[in-house]
Amino acid sequence: MKKILLVLTIISSTVSFSNEDSLFVRKIYDMALEGGHAYENLRSLCKDIGARITGSAEAKIAIDWGKNLMDGYAFDHVYLQEIKVPHWERGNTEAAWIMNESGDVAKLSVLALGGSIGTSGLIEGEVVKVESIQELEALTPEQINGKIIFFNRPFDQKMIQTFKAYGACVDQRWEGTNVASKLNAKAVVIRSMASSTDEHPHTGSMHYDKDVAPVPGAAISTVDADRLVDWLAKGTVTLKMEMDCRFFPDEISYNVIGEMTGNEDDQIITFGGHLDSWDVGEGAHDDGAGVVHSLEALRILKELGYQPNHTLRCVLFMNEENGNFGGKSYAEIAAENKEKHLCALETDRGGFLPMGFDVVGNSAQVDFIRQFATLLKPYDLLKFNPGYGGVDIGPLRSYYPEMLQLGMAVNSQRYFDYHHSAADVFESVNKRELELGAAAMAAMIYLIDQNL
Amino acid sequence: MKKILLVLTIISSTVSFSNEDSLFVRKIYDMALEGGHAYENLRSLCKDIGARITGSAEAKIAIDWGKNLMDGYAFDHVYLQEIKVPHWERGNTEAAWIMNESGDVAKLSVLALGGSIGTSGLIEGEVVKVESIQELEALTPEQINGKIIFFNRPFDQKMIQTFKAYGACVDQRWEGTNVASKLNAKAVVIRSMASSTDEHPHTGSMHYDKDVAPVPGAAISTVDADRLVDWLAKGTVTLKMEMDCRFFPDEISYNVIGEMTGNEDDQIITFGGHLDSWDVGEGAHDDGAGVVHSLEALRILKELGYQPNHTLRCVLFMNEENGNFGGKSYAEIAAENKEKHLCALETDRGGFLPMGFDVVGNSAQVDFIRQFATLLKPYDLLKFNPGYGGVDIGPLRSYYPEMLQLGMAVNSQRYFDYHHSAADVFESVNKRELELGAAAMAAMIYLIDQNL
């Protein structure tokens, strides 16, 4: 054993748990893995209902579905929280083609970005490829006028955590139409926000700044983006596109809430995922998994006869995908009602192998969570790092800036193969990985309820 | 933060690595994730060749394939190591049915166990269900005579590590026919060794003790096992089965070996997976993944211009699945040639997310590996525990009892959905997870070569 530069210091930590805690966490896992409801609930949400974008009939049915399940589980308090939400629909027409100077034509796999205006008939323009917002901003209206901007920056595959690769690209989708509009572009297409190279276009949210004239935005598959790059390398390419997506008037919708009432005080531990999804696929990983994780966590704690110290509140948020009015309204109503909020946890990264929890908080709060590492290690929960909580619970921090928040961290390698695409279906979720996620949520909720 | 019983001791470890090591590991990952060959090599092995049981034409083509790839990568030394192997074939006929007292009939999804004799025509017998070898041993020849034993003990889903659930069941497959034969049973069927409930039967190895008259053995799908349990609860069930699997004379085959020659001494670091597979599916996870992990690890180290201290030897072992004559012969030849073996690593748990390495060795050897934990943490390699190395490298320990061995530990949750079944195909492997496995192997080989 030569070349060891320094003597290894043995890693050690002092365990701060009772055997009772350890046994109870084991019971949670046993119940999830042997008789869990998460997988069947996800099947039902995906197959009996399907994709459920805010404002759709499916979203309304999903609200009934969630409340009925909670009623059936006989949680102490089950109710709907009224909120106002946007209503955008994809419409019936959605198609795009590219043509080169030789007259070759190829149909693209395309999806309007969520929130885009339609095209008002078939539009066309010469394609200008850029790799970033900054590259486009350096061009002039004369160079861009009437053309179609193709944002092509792919995921950086070298990033180990795929959410970081997503974060480094998503400005093209969110902001691209605004910059393009200022330069008089006719429309925007983006390379799909995806880790994989395949035929699926991946939609997702975009927005229009108030001061710009909106132009349509769409995503094309990574395979089509590669083809478009090839064609552009050989000459001028024209893109033709028609989409009739549009907004409808805002609507009333609901967050679905179920609680177990605490013993000690009126402090609340909120946990949940989002009930809405994009309108393609089945919203299985995003975020059917988080919905059934959260329902199952509360079911298991109740089924095991657990009497919580604090109120455990499971929230199935509406409208995370295009507006986050579920999360925003939940936080506003909490503050208006002067609720006391102890902590919030979110699960919105898919039904993959759970690996730990990201912690939003100060160093003492991070240490508080890390004390559970030894107890949770046998369950392969190994990552407890400062990080991100979730979109739905994020707004709570405006009103409760000191509150501890957690986001369940799962294996992220496959998430962006499915995310916001037709591939996000029930069959892409593994039963054991899903059930382990529900158990991880229940265990962390239990440990926080016992110790915070 | 009430109820914390003890003050948390902050976990700390002393890092014993140079910045150079850290940068080199980063280069390994960059090369694997951005321009890796593992995924395309796996596609080729699965689709251009396919399932490759020892003795099959496909196994012979796979040997050429492996050697050609190594020659193409211009490793310092590429050669075939001759070994003698068994040759068993499934044959053309493989079918089974169950019938109940009402005359209902159901066809079973069935696969002969590897190494089973055929049935010599259609056989039938009343089904006797047992949950264990011990339960069967408690019965008498009078109770069993002419009947067909159904081993039904399922995986214990409560076990977090699926390999432990497999280990707790697999005696039924490996040993069941011997016990059944002694009681004059006509045949054995087993519930497939699987985590999931589906239509796929899962084959795998069995053996006949010298002192017993062999009886045929087969696996039925978990769905069919559940159906059979249901029918048995209502009355007598007869099983009819025909299989014409059989052994052929032993053959000559080969381990495929590629090396980079070390600078310092003639000590060898062996690493590899197995080139053979079962004869259904495509052997993608078992162990096409390990084959391409290992090839890719050596390719990356060479491509980065790394000059190893010790000889790095990539071995594609033949015949892991039904005899392990590749692994046994490799160890015997090593000892005969008085080779010096420093360490061996195996990757044979599928192309899933790598999570760390199991270590076979004394506590100093475990600590030696654990010193790398801090450096590897950013790559989500988080588990470095005493454990199991692998079937192929196992025999080396008979000749080199002190040697350090490692088995790459990956997310095991989905492995037994695919293992030894028609579901183990290329499409079940994720590109990034596979490439991360190759990078993890290369990084660990590099760190051992630098530090041991």
CATH classification at residue A190: 3.50.30.30
Rounded CA separation B356/B359 (Å): 10
Please give the DSSP secondary-structure letter assigned to residue A379: G
Going along A110-210, which residue ranges are E strands?
Answer: 110-112, 123-130, 148-151, 187-191
Q: Tell me, what's the pLDDT at A18? A: 77
Whether A7 is in a domain gets the answer: no
Q: DSSP letters of B163-190? A: HHHHHTTTHHHHHHHHHHHHTT-SEEEE
Rounded CA separation A371/B8 (Å): 6
Give the total number of structural domains in chain B. Answer: 2
Interface test with B, best of A431, A434, A435, A436 (most B CBs within 10 A): A431
Candidates B139, B146, B108; CA nearest to B226 is B108
Whether A367 is in a domain gets the answer: yes
Q: What percent of chain B has pLDDT over 90?
A: 95
A 430-449: CB under 8 A from B:
430-433, 436
Please give the DSSP secondary-structure letter assigned to residue A243: E
Q: Tell me, what's the pLDDT at A366? A: 98
Whether B365 is in a domain gets the answer: yes
Confidence band of B277 (pLDDT split at 50, 70, 90)? very high
The answer to whether residues A112 and A67 belong to one domain is: no
Q: Does the structure's ipTM exceed the value 0.90? A: yes
Q: Tell me, what's the pLDDT at B6? A: 33
Rounded CA separation B449/B441 (Å): 12
Residues, chain A, total? Answer: 452
Confidence band of A82 (pLDDT split at 50, 70, 90)? very high
Element (H, E) at A233: helix A222-234
* pLDDT tens per residue across span A283-308: 999 999 999 999 999 999 999 999 99
B5 in contact with chain A, both atoms CB, cutoff 8 A: yes
* Amino acid at residue number A364: A
The contacts of residue A239 (CB under 8 Å, 6+ apart) are A96, A97, A98, A99, A108, A124, A125, A126, A127, A148, A150, A187, A189
B 10-39: CB under 8 A from A:
10-18, 29-30, 33-34
* pLDDT tens per residue across span A151-204: 999 999 999 999 999 999 999 999 999 999 999 999 999 999 999 999 999 999
Q: Tell me, what's the pLDDT at A17? A: 65
Taking residues A8-24, report their average pLDDT.
63
Q: Is the pLDDT of residue A5 over 70?
A: no
The answer to whether residues A422 and A286 belong to one domain is: yes
Whether B3 is in a domain gets the answer: no
Token pair, residue B178, equals 């011997």
Rounded CA separation B234/A417 (Å): 46
Whether A228 is in a domain gets the answer: yes
φ and ψ at B88, to 5 degrees? -120, 140
Candidates B49, B38, B51; CA nearest to B321 is B51
Q: Cβ contacts (< 8 Å) between B370 and chain A: which residues?
A: 8, 11
Q: Can you list the pairs that B428-431 forms with residues at least 24 positions away whose Cβ atoms lie under 8 Å?
A: B428/B284, B428/B285, B429/B39, B429/B42, B429/B284, B429/B285, B429/B288, B429/B289, B429/B350, B429/B351, B430/A413, B430/A414, B430/A417, B430/B351, B430/B352, B431/A196, B431/B39
Rounded CA separation B109/B194 (Å): 14
* Amino acid at residue number B153: R
A 398-427: CB under 8 A from B:
411, 413-414, 417
The answer to whether residues B206 and B319 belong to one domain is: no
Candidates A242, A190, A180; CA nearest to A214 is A180
The answer to whether residues A220 and A291 belong to one domain is: no
Q: Is the pLDDT of residue B279 over 70?
A: yes
* Amino acid at residue number B413: Q
Going along B56-178, which residue ranges are E strands?
Answer: 77-89, 94-100, 105-108, 110-112, 123-130, 148-151
Element (H, E) at A250: strand A246-260
- Mean of all residue pLDDT scores within chain A: 95
Q: In this structure, how many other beta carbons lie within 10 angstroms of the beta carbon of residue A377?
A: 13
The answer to whether residues A321 and A231 belong to one domain is: no
- Axis-axis angle for helices A19-35, A431-451 (nearest 10): 150
Q: Cβ contacts (< 8 Å) between A379 and chain B: which residues?
A: 160
The answer to whether residues A296 and A219 belong to one domain is: no
Rounded CA separation B99/B107 (Å): 9
* pLDDT tens per residue across span B312-323: 999 999 999 999
Candidates B325, B310, B291; CA nearest to B394 is B325
Q: What percent of chain A has pLDDT over 70?
A: 96
User: Which residue does chain A place closest to B343, by CA atoms?
Assistant: A1
Rounded CA separation B267/B195 (Å): 41
Q: Which residue from A3, A160, A162 is facing B378, i.e. has the nearest CB?
A: A160
Give first-to-last CA distance, chain A, whole Å. 45
φ and ψ at A222, to 5 degrees? -65, -35
Q: Cβ contacts (< 8 Å) between B160 and chain A: which residues?
A: 29, 378-380, 436
Residues, chain B, total? Answer: 452
The answer to whether residues B311 and B447 belong to one domain is: yes
Q: Cβ contacts (< 8 Å) between A367 and chain B: which residues?
A: 8, 10
Token pair, residue B382, equals 């988080």
Element (H, E) at A25: helix A19-35
Rounded CA separation B17/B4 (Å): 35
Which residue among B244, B270, B294 closes a domain? B244
Q: Tell me, what's the pLDDT at B30? A: 98
Q: pTM of the entire structure?
A: 0.95
Q: Tell me, what's the pLDDT at B433? A: 98
Residue B173: give the domain boundaries: 91-244
Token pair, residue A342, equals 């102890």
Instruction: Test B8 with A14 for CB contact under 8 angstroms.
Output: yes
Q: Indicate which CATH number applies to the domain containing A78.
A: 3.40.630.10
Let me know if B234 is exposed, middle or buried by CB neighbors in 10 A (0-12, 13-18, 19+): exposed
CB pairs under 8 A between A and B: 132
Map residue A368 onto helix, strand or coil: helix
- Axis-axis angle for helices B57-72, B289-303 (nearest 10): 10
The answer to whether residues A314 and A428 belong to one domain is: yes
Instruction: Test B370 with A8 for CB contact under 8 angstroms.
Output: yes
Confidence band of A13 (pLDDT split at 50, 70, 90)? very low
B132 in contact with chain A, both atoms CB, cutoff 8 A: no
* Alpha-carbon distance values, B402 to A281, B153, B267, B343, B452 (Å): 54, 37, 14, 9, 13
Confidence band of B18 (pLDDT split at 50, 70, 90)? confident
* pLDDT tens per residue across span B210-259: 999 999 999 999 999 999 999 999 999 999 999 999 999 999 999 999 99
Element (H, E) at A291: helix A289-303
Check residue B338 and give left, alpha or beta (phi > 0: left; psi -120 to 50: alpha): left
Candidates A42, A55, A47; CA nearest to A279 is A55
Token pair, residue A420, equals 């916001």
* pLDDT tens per residue across span A143-162: 999 999 999 999 999 999 99
Confidence band of B429 (pLDDT split at 50, 70, 90)? very high
The answer to whether residues B153 and B289 belong to one domain is: no
B213 in contact with chain A, both atoms CB, cutoff 8 A: no
Taking residues A356-377, report their average pLDDT.
97
The answer to whether residues B118 and B137 belong to one domain is: yes
Q: Tell me, what's the pLDDT at A7? A: 31
Please give the DSSP secondary-structure letter assigned to residue A205: B
Going along A297-416, which residue ranges are E strands?
Answer: 311-317, 340-346, 354-360, 383-386, 404-410
Element (H, E) at B384: strand B383-386
Least confident of A70-74, A116-120, B18-22, B335-339: B18-22
Residue with tokens 């979203």: A59
Which residue among B221, B244, B267 closes a domain? B244
Whether A346 is in a domain gets the answer: yes
The answer to whether residues A226 and A353 belong to one domain is: no
Whether B9 is in a domain gets the answer: no
Instruction: Test B368 with A1 for CB contact under 8 angstroms.
Output: yes
Whether A81 is in a domain gets the answer: yes
Q: Is the pLDDT of residue A9 over 90?
A: no
Which residue among A206, A228, A244 closes a domain? A244
The answer to whether residues B63 and B180 belong to one domain is: no
* pLDDT tens per residue across span B190-211: 999 999 999 999 999 999 999 9
* Amino acid at residue number B446: Y
Please check whether residue B176 is in contact with residue B215, taking contact to mean a CB–CB distance below 8 angstroms. no
* Alpha-carbon distance values, A192 to A219, A238, A270 (Å): 5, 19, 33
